[in-house]
């Protein structure tokens, strides 16, 4: 008997640039795919559930703990969402292209600007929900190696590469 396993996961590439464009910090981190995200994949592709066409990237702030049981509806128990996205109530759209068993937004990174005030960023998440602090499916979440400060005039960009592999 052949023992085959499939794996789904993502790598988040995060850059923070100063107002003059110079690199302040960069980080590459691997994610957690919570049960809610795994169930959504199975439901959509194997059980015939409706396909969700858009995904969005959100930012976490403050202390955070990640768990497989996390859901977007329960955020605030283990982590909080940052307060402002481009002076808007919506999260940036995750615009990705599939190629070679992966899906990435490298050609169109999520960009966060116009903070209005300094922000403390502890992690990032991928969701089906567009509204800040609103409902949706939590597909993926990641903590940065340390809490990061982003100043009012700095730009944060996020590239996510999702991969599905079999071994």
Domains of the chain, by residue range, sit at 6-166
Of 143, 129, 145, nearest to 79 by C-alpha is 143
Distance CA 155, CA 72 (A): 25
Print pLDDT tens along the chain (167 aa).
555 566 778 899 999 999 999 999 999 999 888 888 888 877 776 666 666 678 888 888 877 888 888 888 776 666 777 766 655 666 888 888 888 888 899 999 998 886 667 788 899 999 888 777 677 888 899 999 999 988 888 999 999 998 877 77
Helices (H), the chain: 35-46
Distance CA 32, CA 41 (A): 14
């Amino acid at each position: 008997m052949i023992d085959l396993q499939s794996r789904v996961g993502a790598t988040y590439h995060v850059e923070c640039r100063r107002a003059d464009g110079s690199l302040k910090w960069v980080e590459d981190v691997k994610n957690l795919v919570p049960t809610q995200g795994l169930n959504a994949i199975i439901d959509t592709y194997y059980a015939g559930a409706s396909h969700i066409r858009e995904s969005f990237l959100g930012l976490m702030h403050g202390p955070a703990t990640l768990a497989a049981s996390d859901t977007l509806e329960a955020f605030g128990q283990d982590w909080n969402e940052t307060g402002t996205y481009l002076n808007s109530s919506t999260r940036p759209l995750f615009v990705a292209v599939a190629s070679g068993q992966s899906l990435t937004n490298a050609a169109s990174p999520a960009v966060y600007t116009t903070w209005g005030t300094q922000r403390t960023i502890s992690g990032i998440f991928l969701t089906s929900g567009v509204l800040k602090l609103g409902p949706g499916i939590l597909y993926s979440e990641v903590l940065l190696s340390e809490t990061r400060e982003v100043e009012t005039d700095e730009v944060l960009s996020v590239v996510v590469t999702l991969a599905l592999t079999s071994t």
